[in-house]
Structure 1
Amino acid sequence: MTGLAPAVRSLAATAAALCAVIVLTASPVQAGPEPKAPKEFVALRTVDPTIIEEMRYPTGHNFVGEPVDGYRQPLCIVTRPAAQALRRAQRKLLRQGYSLKVYDCYRPQRAVDHFVRWAKDLADEAMKREFYPQVDKSRLFADGYIAEKSGHSRGSTVDLTVVKLPALPTRPHVPGEPLAPCFAPKSQRFPDNSVDMGTGFDCFDTLSHTVDPRIQGEQRANRQLLNGTLSGEDFVNLPEEWWHFTYRPEPFPDTYFDFPVALRSVAGH
């Protein structure tokens, strides 16, 4: 019996240690507080509530086909200088019977990471017919449609369009509804209350290039109206996307933020 005692005690100690490991492993990890935006960020609606907000990434109607990580609320958050410049552009358009409409503004890094994961999943092509019907999904990185960093995460880039007033609301997207190519005639595309820009928002196609020569007539004039109005307020267009503009100089040219898109991220400034 005495010869077995040390072994028994050793076995008991081992079992106790194992139980402690199991308990520690099973304990929930306490998440830290969500990061908040620097004081230079604002909700656009607090600077100009007349600008229409139709945020696409908190919904399932986008190229991913589901709400995107980091978008807690359908809200446009931007740096204050960009918001003030948008307000000045809006004043010009209102006098002409138009309004700006934003699709996306500040974009957290976790959302960009979601885009990257989706792009690497070549089997997920649920939204291909609408957003990238002529592009092989394996080419999205090489062709520049998806990247691991986005200027949106710096807070001064917006995706937007122009709406003729009075504006009727765009109807909600119905999951599973038939999809039409983003470059189809406007009457066949997903309904949008914006003017006809030749393609829908987030159309992965060369027709989305701002000055593509195939875009003529009213569509070209509408792009010029948007581009001319915003360039007059220090926004620079991305030539590959008629909807994409960055305010210059950027307050945070080298910082990619990851606070969630939610009112509480900018509350209390």
Structure 2
Amino acid sequence: MLSIHSIKAQNTKKLLVIYTKETYLKSVKEDSNKALVLLKEYVPSIKLDIKYATSQNIFYQKLYSKAVAYIRLPVAKALAKVQEELKSKGLSLKIYDAYRPYSVTVQMFEMLPDTLYMGLPWTGSKHNRGIALDLTLVDLKTGKELKMPTPFDALVYASHPEFSLISDEAKENRELLKKVMKKYDFVVDPMEWWHFNYKSSTNFEILDLPFKTFE
């Protein structure tokens, strides 16, 4: 069984992981784009449903201490543009997950060692780098989620963003989400329709820092 301690030891020379607030602040001083910001401050109208701050997730347990969404500064700015376009269509983004501490990725893999859908401890996740989001669309009038191919975190083929054997309504909503996100430099994950990575030439380090670090 993997443990965070053994993986940290194995990855000392393989992965660049920031474990201290001081190192993180130094990286931000060198490049202000590396700041993790509270997403709600940049996109106040965005909806949050942080699944890992509850037990209503694939692991049936609470993994986060707070229901908050932190993300790198350029990602927050790009999401603000996405949200503005969606609002003109009567829609909003709903965020399931954003920045995820590296130790949580390790914990997840210990519970569910799946190499197709899970973040891999030996490479780190883009969630750990603060440039990935899990999200969906909601109707502004009703507050309800639009119909999508699957629920969040469904480990099935229908979750793949190109899977075709779904209803026309789900396909239309999925394609709209992909189209608008792509317009503002987000790339959908090949395995999960809800997972989007931000394209950037900046090398964002993997972080293993609690949310309170950024308060």
Which bracket does the TM-score occupy, shorter chain normalised? 0.7 to 0.9
Q: Are the aligned partners of 1:155 and 1:252 in contact in 2 as well (CA < 8 Å)?
A: no
Distance in 2 (CA, whole Å) between partners of 1:167 and 1:81 is 30
Which structure has the highest strand share of the two? 2
Cα deviation 1:88-140 (Å, max 9, x = unaligned): 000000000000010000000111011022125xxxxxxxxxxxxxxxxxxx2
Query: In 1, distance between residues paired with 2:21 and 2:52?
Result: 20
- Structure label with greater radius of gyration: 1
Report the alpha carbon displacement of residue 265 of structure 1 after superposing the two structures with TM.
Answer: 2.1
User: In 2, are the aligned partners of 1:104 and 1:158 still within 8 Å (CA)?
Assistant: yes
Q: SS at 2:207's partner residue?
A: coil
Q: What's the offset of the Cα at 1:146?
A: 4.9
Equivalent position of 2:213 in the other structure: 265
Aligned to 1:35: 21
Q: How far does residue 167 in structure 1 lie from its aligned partner after superposition?
A: 4.0
The equivalent residue for 1:98 is 91
CA gap 1:81/1:256 in 2 versus in 1, 3 angstroms: same
Match of 1:219 in 2: 170
Which residue among 54, 57, 63 is the counterpart of 1:62?
Answer: 57
Amino acid at match of 1:111: V
- Per the alignment, residue 175 of structure 1 pairs with none
For residue 153 of structure 1, the aligned residue among 128, 148, 173 is 128
Contact map agreement 2:157 2:163 (CA 8 A) in 1: yes
1:170-201 C-alpha deviation (Å, 9 max, x unpaired): xxxxxxxxxxxxxxxxxxxxxxx310112000
Q: Secondary structure at the match of 1:215?
A: coil
Separation in structure 2 between the aligned mates of residue 119 and residue 240 of structure 1, nearest angstrom: 16
Q: Does the Cα contact within 8 Å between 1:119 and 1:146 map onto a contact in 2?
A: no
Structure 1 alignment gaps of length 5 or more: 1-32, 121-139, 169-192
1:31-53 CA-partner distances (Å, limit 9, x unpaired): xx973754411000111110101
TM-score normalized by the length of structure 1: 0.65
Task: For 1:160-171, list aligned pairs within 5 A.
Answer: 160-168=135-143
What is the CA deviation profile of residues 201-250 of structure 1, one whole-angstrom value per residue up to 9, with x for unaligned ones?
00000100011010241100000111001000000111210001111106
Shift of 1:257: 0.3
Aligned partner of residue 53 in structure 2, secondary structure = coil
1:15-94 alignment to 2 at 5 Å? 35=21, 38=25, 39=28, 40-68=35-63, 71-94=64-87
Deviates more, 1:157-166 or 1:35-44: 35-44
**Kept after mapping to 1: 8 A contact 2:106/2:120:** no
Counterparts of 1:72 and 1:114, CA distance in 2: 14
The percent of aligned pairs where both chains have the same amino acid is 30
Work out which of the residue numbers 190, 193, 201 in structure 2 matches 1:242: 193
Q: TM-score, normalised by structure 2?
A: 0.81
Segments of 5+ residues of structure 2 without an aligned counterpart are: 1-18, 29-34
Distance 1:103 1:54 in 2: 5
Cross-structure match for 1:228: 179
Q: Retained in 2: the 8 A contact 1:160–1:243?
A: yes
For residue 219 of structure 1, give the secondary structure of its aligned residue in structure 2. helix
